[in-house]
Amino acid sequence: MSLFEKIYNYQMIARLEDAEAVAVTAQEREWLSAMLRRPEAEHAFSPSTLVKLRSLMNRDGDRAIDESEHIAEEILEKAASLTGQLYHPLLRPLREALTNRLGLQLTYAVKDGSVRMRQHGYPYKLEYSMVKREWYLLWFHLRRRCVMVTKLQNIAEAAEALIPAQQAEAAEKKMTAYYASKQQQAVIQIIPQFNRELSRILYAFSCFDKEVSYEESTDTYRITLIYLRDESDFVLSRIRFLGKRILVTEGDYLRKRMYEAAQKSLMRYGITP
């Protein structure tokens, strides 16, 4: 890419950001149109947001809409999956509570089947487990003063509750410190001959916080991956999936596990490492 192209692309991105606009491809537009026609969209968005999104999608005319509906039906039929419903009715109210920094009054079930009634807490984050295909609420129990992780499917009721600003700030600090102590970091290097697959590699780690750096002298991309300790096995599964395209350069635990796996594979074929 020439210097002129880099400057032009930067200016275009900057203008889009200033206008609070998002560039989408035709395929992404068709996908969004199809999703907005699904019944779950009524619960996922507020009425005003849903009306605005649908009006933006429909402004190309009835003919384009009819064609997109026909295409969407074919895509939905061919892409049918046996996985459970990814959307949960509590996502929107919980997301609003997180945005507005409000407390919660929760009624939820625990592992032994008993139900905890009207427990007061402060929501910290919503997370989706790619392994278990389930949504979780990370929150701080105000009475017990402990970190809680609860499946959304186990929450029977969730109501907003006002709590003092100081109490909310203290709860958020404790949650942040707790998860910071559990964070792990690894550096993954992309083998230069596979640079053309950068998008695919980044997609494999899309559910993790990461930073990407590029060293022009060696034509090398490096991904600094940040994840929780109990997510290590899932990170390893992504690394094994990508195979020879990448190399773990930092992260003792991941390197050790990959070394052990390589040794076992060689021994299985009668090769002594």
Helix (H, G, I), strand (E, B) or coil at 145: coil
pLDDT at position 4 is: 47
pLDDT at position 69 is: 53
pLDDT at position 9 is: 59
CATH 2.30.30 intervals, the chain: 91-163
pLDDT at position 16 is: 66
- Nearest alpha-carbon partner for 57 in 29, 25, 28: 29
Rounded to a whole number of angstroms, the CA Rg of the chain reads 23
Helix (H, G, I), strand (E, B) or coil at 67: helix
Lowest mean pLDDT among 13-27, 155-169, 213-227: 13-27
Between CA 194 and CA 98 the distance in angstroms is 40
Half-sphere exposure of 252 (CA within 13 A, CB side): 0
The domain made up of 91-163 has a fold known as SH3 type barrels. (2.30.30)
End-to-end Cα separation, the chain, in angstroms: 43
pLDDT at position 1 is: 46
pLDDT digits (tens, 9 = 90+) for 241-269: 999 999 999 999 999 999 998 888 888 88
Burial class of 49 by CB neighbour count within 10 A (0 to 12, 13 to 18, 19+)? exposed
pLDDT at position 27 is: 74
Residue 219 has pLDDT above 80, yes or no: yes
Tell me the average pLDDT across 224-231. 88
Q: Which residues contact 184 (CB under 8 A, 6 or more apart)?
A: 226, 227, 228, 229, 232, 251, 253
Higher-pLDDT residue of 40, 248? 248
| Residues forming a β-bridge with 158 | 106
Does this model's pTM top 0.75? Answer: no
CATH 3.30.70.240 intervals, the chain: 183-268
Question: Which residue matches tokens 């996908």?
Answer: 31
pLDDT at position 207 is: 80
pLDDT digits (tens, 9 = 90+) for 44-101: 788 888 888 888 877 654 444 455 555 555 555 555 555 555 678 888 889 888 888 8
| Residues forming a β-bridge with 139 | 123, 148
Q: Which residues contact 248 (CB under 8 A, 6 or more apart)?
A: 186, 187, 188, 189, 239, 254, 255, 258
pLDDT digits (tens, 9 = 90+) for 106-146: 999 988 888 989 999 999 998 887 767 888 999 999 988 89
pLDDT digits (tens, 9 = 90+) for 166-203: 888 999 999 999 888 888 999 999 999 999 998 889 88
CATH architecture of 183-268: 2-Layer Sandwich (3.30)
pLDDT at position 238 is: 92
pLDDT at position 62 is: 45
Q: Which residues contact 212 (CB under 8 A, 6 or more apart)?
A: 202, 221, 222, 223, 224
Cβ atoms 93, 99 nearer than 8 A: no
Residue 272 has pLDDT above 80, yes or no: no
Cβ atoms 118, 105 nearer than 8 A: yes
- Nearest alpha-carbon partner for 154 in 140, 173, 176, 134: 134
Residue 23 has pLDDT above 90, yes or no: no
For residue 10, what pLDDT band results from cuts at 50, 70 and 90? low
